[in-house]
Structure 1
Amino acid sequence: MSKVPLYFDVFSEGLFTGPESSVPIDYAKIYSDPESEKAIMSSVVYCIHHKEGCKWSDELRKLKGHLNTCKHDAIPCTSKCGAQIPRVLMEDHLKYTCPQRRTRCEFCNKEFTGHTLENHVGNCGYEPLYCENKCGVKIHRRHLSQHKASDCSKRLLPCRYCTKEFVADTLTAHHLKCGRVPIQCPNRCDVNVLAREELESHLKEECTISVHSCSFKEAGCRFKGPRFAMEKHLEENCQQHLQLMCSVVSKQQHQITSLKSALSRLSLNYSGTLIWKISEFSNKVAEAKTKEGMELVSPPFYTSQYGYKLQASLFPNGNGAGEDSHISVYIKILPGEYDGLLRWPFAHSVSFTLFDQSTCPEKACNIVESFIPDPTWKNFQRPSKEPDSLGFGFPKFVSHEMLKKRHFMKDDTVFIRVKIDPSKIVAV
C-alpha cells in the first residue's frame, strides 16, 4: 500500500481536525461505511511532525499512539509554566528557559526561579567584573564603585600641588618633576620654601648665599663668591677687568683677521676666467668724467689653483689714448702665494670680451680683444710687493658711442670676460 502524506492533529479517538479547519471532525459521521472507514484507517501516513525531523510512518490508526510517544510532539510543560514544548526539547526547556525552573546563581549561589533569575543576572553583586578603567583587576560588582573611587591604579587624581589630573599610578612620577612641589633652597638661605620651578631663578637672582662666578669669567677672572660680595668685587677690580677684556678683544681681532683671510681664499676664482659684472655703469661713466683717472678694479683671480694671481681694471672714461672717448681695460699681475714655483715672465694669452646681451643669443655680436704678452715687457715679470700700477691692455677697448649701440649695456649693466689661456700662442 502506498504512503499517503496525510497530517492530522488528534484530539480524541475518532475526532480529527483537517489541515484548513480548527473544528473537530467526527470521522464516524462522515464515513458511516465500516469498510470505507477500515480502508481509510489502514492508509499509511507520515507523522504530523515529519517536517520537524520525525521519521515515523505507519497506518493512520496507529498515529494517535505514536503521537503519545513522539519526541517532536508538543506537550504541556511539566513545571506547569503553560508552555507547549516538544518532548525532545523538554529537558532543555526545564533546565534553561522555563520560567518556573529552580536554579542557583553561579556567583552568589542563591536559588531563583527562571523568571527572577533573568532579572538577577547582570545585577548580582557577587559577579566578578573587570574594572572599566582597564587596570586589569577583576572584582565583585558590589565593590566596583569603591574600587574605582579609591583603589583603582588607573583612576584620575589631582596633583595636590599643581591641581592637574593624572592617572593614579603615574602621580608619584609626576611629583618627582612637578614644578609646584615645595622644596627648600639648597643653600639654606632665609627663604624657607619655594616651588621647584622657581629654584633656578631664586639661585641666580635672589639667594643671598648662593656662590656665583664673576661676570668677567669668560674673560679670565676666577673670582667666586656670594651675591653680597660680588658687588664689592666688581667695584674694586674695574682696572683688572678692563685689561682682561682688552686682551679678549685683541684675540678676537686676530681671529677675525684670520677668518677673513681664510674666507677670502675660499671665495677666490681659480678657473683662469673672470666674468666681471659692472652695475650702474652710466653713473660710473658720468662720475669718471668729473674725477680724473677714476679706475674700477675687479676681484682678484688665479689662472689655476696654484697659478698666477691676476686682476683686471677698467677706466669708464678711458685712459691715455682713449681718454674721454673710450673705456679702457687692463690686466695686471699681483703678487701671489705660489710665485716662487711659477715660470717667469708670464706668457699666457689674455683676451677681453664685452658681451652683447641680446635677447637672441644667435644674433649677439660680442667685442673681443686679446694679446700675447711680450716677454721683454716689465709688466709680465715676477711682481714685487708693489705691483705695476697700470698693467697691460687696451686704452681704446670700446668707444662710448659703440657702447650705446646694440645691447652691450642692458639694465645699466655691462659684462666683461677676462680669459687666460696658456695653450694659445697667437692672439685671437
Structure 2
Amino acid sequence: MEADCSRIINGLEVYCSNQRCQWRGDLRDISTHLNKGKRDGECQYEEAKCRYEECQVRNERRYLDYHEHDECSHRLFRCQYCWKDGTYLSITMGHYNDCADYPIHCPNNCTLNTMPRHVLSAHISHQCPLEPVDCVFRWAGCNDKPLRKDVHVHTADTKHVTLLAVACGQLKKEKKQIKKENSKIKEESTKLRIENQKRELEMTKQVETLKEENSQLKHYQAIP
C-alpha cells in the first residue's frame, strides 16, 4: 500500500519551481531537472555559481556560459603576445606590466608606433631620433645634449672651434706640467740612486774594517 502511494505521488505531474521555465513532468524527475547547487543542470532558469572557484558570481545557468567565457575575471586566459597561460585577471592586471613582448610606445613619441617591451632599451640607446645624446665634443667641455637626429647640425656649430682651442691649450699645459713632474721624479730617482751607492760603499768599508779587527783579535788570542 505504501509503495503504491509512493509511486502515485512520484508520478504526479508537477511544474518547474522557476516561473519562466516551461518544464513539467513527474515529481520524481524534478530534482534531476533542477539539480540544485550544481553548475550544470537541465533547468536553465535555476540559479547556480560560476564554475571558477575564486569567482562568487551567481546567476541563472542560461547566463553563466557567457559570463564564464567573456566576463569572469578568473576565466582561463592566454597572453596574446608571449602565449603565457593564466587567468584573465592575472594576465591583464599583472603579467602585461612585465611581459617582454607586450607592445609599448616609445617614451619620446618618435615615429615608431609600437615595439615589444624587450627592444625598448636598444631603441632608446641606439635608434630613437628624439633621444637626447651627449655631444661628441663633451670631452672638450660641451655639455649640450642634442637630439640624435640633430647631432650632425650641432657638431658643425662654430662654438666647438673655440672649445677645441681651449681644450688644446689645456692639454698642452697639462702635458708641460706632466713633463715637469716627470723630470722632477727622474731627478729624485737619480739622487736616491747616488745616496744608495754611497751607503753601500760605506757599509762595504765597515765590513772590511770588522773583518780586519776580527782577524787581529784571533791573532792575539792564538799567542800563548
The alignment's TM-score, normalised by the length of structure 2, stands at: 0.51
| 2:46 maps to amino acid | E
Q: For residue 77 of structure 1, report the CA deviation from its aligned partner.
A: 4.1
Query: In the alignment, does 2:58 pair up with 1:138?
Result: yes
What is the aligned partner in structure 2 of residue 206 from structure 1? 127
Alignment of 1:355-394 (within 5 A): none
Provide, for residues 146-165 of structure 1, a one-character-per-residue CA deviation record: whole Å limited to 9, x for no partner. Answer: 32112222112333444434
Counterpart Cα distance in 1 of 2:13 and 2:116: 66
Provide, for residues 221-258 of structure 1, a one-character-per-residue CA deviation record: whole Å limited to 9, x for no partner. Answer: 512213355477499666739958x98xxxxxxxxxxx
In structure 2, do the counterparts of structure 1 residues 206 and 162 end up closer, same or farther at CA, with 3 Å as the change threshold?
Answer: same
Q: For residue 166 of structure 1, report the CA deviation from its aligned partner.
A: 4.2
8 Å Cα contact 1:79-1:101 kept in structure 2: no
What is the aligned partner in structure 2 of residue 127 from structure 1? 46
What is the aligned partner in structure 1 of residue 17 from structure 2? 106
Q: For residue 101 of structure 1, report the CA deviation from its aligned partner.
A: 4.7
What is the aligned partner in structure 1 of residue 195 from structure 2? none
Counterpart Cα distance in 1 of 2:2 and 2:106: 87
1:212 aligns to what SS in structure 2? coil
Counterpart Cα distance in 1 of 2:170 and 2:80: 54
Q: For residue 186 of structure 1, report the CA deviation from its aligned partner.
A: 4.5
Counterpart Cα distance in 1 of 2:109 and 2:168: 31
Counterpart Cα distance in 2 of 1:183 and 1:144: 35
Q: Paired residue for 1:191, among 104, 112, 132? A: 112
8 Å Cα contact 1:159-1:165 kept in structure 2: yes
In structure 2, do the counterparts of structure 1 residues 238 and 156 end up closer, same or farther at CA, with 3 Å as the change threshold?
Answer: farther
| 1:100 maps to amino acid | G
What is the aligned partner in structure 2 of residue 262 from structure 1? none
Considering only aligned residues, what root-mean-square deviation do their CA atoms show, in Å? 4.5
Q: What residue ranges of structure 1 are gaps of 5+ in the alignment? A: 1-74, 82-93, 248-291, 294-318, 325-428
Q: Paired residue for 1:154, among 69, 74, 77? A: 74
In structure 2, do the counterparts of structure 1 residues 117 and 186 end up closer, same or farther at CA, with 3 Å as the change threshold?
Answer: closer
1:79 aligns to what SS in structure 2? helix
The alignment's TM-score, normalised by the length of structure 1, stands at: 0.30
Alignment of 1:13-412 (within 5 A): 75-77=1-3, 79=5, 81=7, 99-107=10-18, 108=21, 110-122=23-35, 123=41, 124-133=43-52, 134-173=54-93, 174-175=95-96, 178-214=99-135, 221-227=142-148, 230=151, 233=155, 240=167
8 Å Cα contact 2:140-2:164 kept in structure 1: no
Q: For residue 185 of structure 1, report the CA deviation from its aligned partner.
A: 3.6
1:224 aligns to what SS in structure 2? coil
In structure 2, do the counterparts of structure 1 residues 129 and 228 end up closer, same or farther at CA, with 3 Å as the change threshold?
Answer: closer
1:169 aligns to what SS in structure 2? helix
Number of equivalences: 165
| 2:5 maps to amino acid | S
In structure 2, do the counterparts of structure 1 residues 212 and 143 end up closer, same or farther at CA, with 3 Å as the change threshold?
Answer: same
Q: What residue ranges of structure 2 are gaps of 5+ in the alignment? A: 36-40, 175-198, 201-205, 212-224
1:150 aligns to what SS in structure 2? helix
What is the aligned partner in structure 2 of residue 31 from structure 1? none
2:5 aligns to what SS in structure 1? coil
Counterpart Cα distance in 1 of 2:168 and 2:97: 42
Report % sequence identity: 27
| 2:112 maps to amino acid | V
Provide, for residues 274-297 of structure 1, a one-character-per-residue CA deviation record: whole Å limited to 9, x for no partner. Answer: xxxxxxxxxxxxxxxxxx97xxxx
Higher relative contact order (CA 8 A, sep 6+): 1
2:123 aligns to what SS in structure 1? helix
Q: For residue 131 of structure 1, report the CA deviation from its aligned partner.
A: 0.8
Q: For residue 205 of structure 1, report the CA deviation from its aligned partner.
A: 0.5
8 Å Cα contact 1:221-1:241 kept in structure 2: no
Q: For residue 210 of structure 1, report the CA deviation from its aligned partner.
A: 2.0
Counterpart Cα distance in 2 of 1:216 and 1:146: 64
